[in-house]
Structure 1
């Protein structure tokens, strides 16, 4: 294959101080990143000053990603712009070295296609090509299709251990260069729920009826909800991420995806965020399909799913129903991600329901249902779009409620 090169030969194709978008989450191209960072650290490299756009996700307690190099970032030899900051970036973020790009996930591909992000190149990780020359994007469809359509220079890390997931593909000839690797993918282990999270999840599961199409966000409570839906019937899955706990749900027979007007028989997601077990399960699975976040997260698309239920987490909710799912103080802990996409989609869906679920207190006992958000705190879901808030103490349905009525309902969730 003429496209095959060494990692250093690939780097020679880049302009000075390049602006590069990275394939995200478990599909981050580790070998290409290692080569890029090694070149920058080596000294007078024309690649010094590179900017990386990333959608970061790691498991709780995971080491920081390769590009969270505080020394390189502090010396401006590397710049990091993130669509979804993660706690694994904590050290760099606290030093003010992570530049957050606020954007609902559904809008990110449009930012790329319409030229609002000036990208020189993209690093993708793909499977080996099939007989027709097409490579799978593995566990991350994310914004990869927009990169393939719009970025002038595509460089691929072709990993022999990359699973083939149904959905988006890219022909090998679209790449300017390819390196071959044979290494495990990044893994994100499932989260173990504590007593409070289990009680929250039980309250959420009771709100989900048979025949619903469900979106479960990433986090302890949504993952626990997946474990509690196995006795349901004729569920559908349409969301931004599938995690390990959904394997048991899919295997239980509770999910048929037969009530959806499109994608019948298929669980649709933009990302697989989990362990090798999940990757092996999804490999060539006929009932799992990855779609880009401009489709999987598109509110107009979601609104066509009757009985759609979205379940997402939050850091805190105030008495008006404003939801903060992003920050603790001045620390940008996460991003808005797909939460607002699914909240809006649920409003448009026939019998749709949007649930924000969280324990009423932190592990240190501080309340998470608060009188008001602090002045510098971002609002991830505004009060006029919030529907149902759930804690371990009950359910507050805010739809059609005045501010005083909301305060009364939400304070009842504290204890």
Structure 2
């Protein structure tokens, strides 16, 4: 009997991954745990993929809907996408095979703000949730569940699913117990009450997940590592972007628009984000806090140095070395790190009230400040909006960043008009590339365009952007946001035809 499964009744429901997967049927909607590769089920999705693949070879129809917290791992998204097992995927993905299926029209994909997912499931907007497959680090004697390295939407999956399959992963450190804060006070309208969180490190719930034990149809033991994040060392471009942001934040402190310890930080995932965090760690600020959706290497370094006093997150997204260091001293990190459900970590009211400084990546922005963070050349999904919209619209400061070019200089990140809009000009306050920073606050569209071209565009594309703007000012029918509609998307069309935007 596993020492991680202390409830006698649930020990009696132990079975293999193959037997558990047999409890999932064609047409089911399945809520899977996992957020950025952390805390996703490891063996049931692979057993399910084998089962569905066998059914397809027999000529049987077998496809399911898969709902998660965010992106997961090759063992989940990759395994199921490979055998064309998913009829629908939501709310965010980053797996290459999953992306290929979506862009080939072989899989429906709903790109949803991460803060919306749980409540949309409560409201029944997506239909019934038939099965939940959730990884946990252990089961207590009374049936409460110890969450693992992410919470994501697990609270909602366990509440809403008709059947529950638990993967108990003994690879996850037992010391994770007590790091989580699961708030059970959310209600459906019109009975909602204020969420009593006033500091990023507040604990307002309990350290365990609850489940109706009668719904648990299978318990599967595993001993498999999370898929760790891989980050490259910051390069000159990402360090230049980080430098511009650091200078800007110091300027805001000097002018009294930010306190000396700043405001709680949110940062997207990736090499540029880690470079920004590295810059902050080496900068003049102390006693910072983070209220974000992923805890990555840069924030761990800030916690180690004392630059960051505490961090609230929905999941870990650490490199193998950082994860090993984290797991080696969980007693230390438990006092500084809180892991929450994403319905709380990404809650718009909390983001606005706490005054978050939001820093997120983008694919492209246009000269008026509209941002595309999800689509390549207008039609192909990259990953999804994730939580960037939750934070951008409600943040105290909304910052978007990217290198000024892509594909070896063939693509300009700054274009006359974005090919897809995720964040309108109304939600974008600051744009940053390696060339500079454009502070768009309090600026009309025409003034925004001047700043973005001057400060953010790559020198090789700047003259063409300036030429477009001047001709639009001379010839557009309206002069609030001047555009030449027959040219506005011509840069993208030219790239698709010639391989270069110029």
Q: Same fold (TM over 0.5)?
A: yes
Correspondence 1:165-314 to 2 at 5 A: 165-168=179-182, 169-171=208-210, 174=213, 175-208=216-249, 210-212=260-262, 213-230=264-281, 231=283, 232-256=285-309, 266-280=310-324, 281=326, 283=330, 285-306=334-355, 308-314=356-362
Q: Which range is displaced more, 119-128 or 275-284?
A: 275-284
Aligned equivalents of 2:340 and 2:158: distance in 1? 14
For the residue of structure 2 that corresponds to 1:51, the secondary structure is strand
* TM superposition shift of 1:173: 6.0
Tell me, yes or no, if structure 1 residue 321 matches structure 2 residue 365: no
Change (3 A) 1:123 1:205: same
Aligned equivalents of 2:225 and 2:111: distance in 1? 31
Aligned equivalents of 1:181 and 1:289: distance in 2? 25
* TM superposition shift of 1:277: 4.2
For the residue of structure 2 that corresponds to 1:186, the secondary structure is coil
Q: Deviations over 1:260-290 (max 9, x none)?
A: xxxxxx4111121223444451645221111
For the residue of structure 2 that corresponds to 1:9, the secondary structure is helix
* TM superposition shift of 1:11: 2.9
Q: Which of the two has greater helix per residue?
A: 2
Q: Which range is displaced more, 242-251 or 279-288?
A: 279-288
Partner of 1:91: 100
Q: Which range is displaced more, 308-317 or 186-195?
A: 186-195
One of 109, 123, 127 as aligned partner of 1:114: 123
Q: Deviations over 1:236-266 (max 9, x none)?
A: 010011112221111011112xxxxxxxxx4
* TM superposition shift of 1:191: 3.5
Tell me, yes or no, if structure 1 residue 101 matches structure 2 residue 110: yes
Partner of 1:151: 161
Stretches of 4+ aligned residues off by more than 6 angstroms:
61-64
Q: Which range is displaced more, 359-368 or 246-255?
A: 359-368
Q: Deviations over 1:214-246 (max 9, x none)?
A: 111112211111111124201001001111222
What's the TM-score, normalizing by structure 1? 0.87
Correspondence 1:37-116 to 2 at 5 A: 37-43=49-55, 44=58, 48-55=62-69, 57=71, 65-69=78-82, 72-73=83-84, 78-86=86-94, 88=96, 89-116=98-125
**CA RMSD in angstroms, aligned pairs only:** 2.5
* TM superposition shift of 1:167: 2.5
Change (3 A) 1:206 1:338: same
One of 389, 393, 407 as aligned partner of 2:435: 393
Change (3 A) 1:45 1:2: farther
Partner of 1:262: none
Q: Deviations over 1:86-143 (max 9, x none)?
A: 2523432332223221211110111111112221101111102346543332122111
Change (3 A) 1:160 1:62: closer
Partner of 1:14: 24
Whichever of the two has the greater Rg, that structure is: 2
* TM superposition shift of 1:292: 1.3
Aligned equivalents of 2:217 and 2:153: distance in 1? 19
Which ranges in structure 2 are unaligned for 5 or more consecutive residues?
Answer: 1-10, 183-207, 251-259, 460-502
What's the TM-score, normalizing by structure 2? 0.73
One of 390, 399, 410 as aligned partner of 1:355: 399
Q: Which range is displaced more, 35-44 or 324-333?
A: 35-44
Partner of 1:340: 389
Which ranges in structure 1 are unaligned for 5 or more consecutive residues?
Answer: 257-265, 347-351
Change (3 A) 1:127 1:292: same
Aligned equivalents of 2:373 and 2:233: distance in 1? 20
* TM superposition shift of 1:184: 1.3
Aligned equivalents of 1:11 and 1:248: distance in 2? 40
Tell me, yes or no, if structure 1 residue 126 matches structure 2 residue 139: no
Tell me, yes or no, if structure 1 residue 364 matches structure 2 residue 408: yes
Aligned equivalents of 2:75 and 2:209: distance in 1? 30
* TM superposition shift of 1:192: 3.0
Change (3 A) 1:67 1:205: farther
Aligned equivalents of 1:79 and 1:310: distance in 2? 33
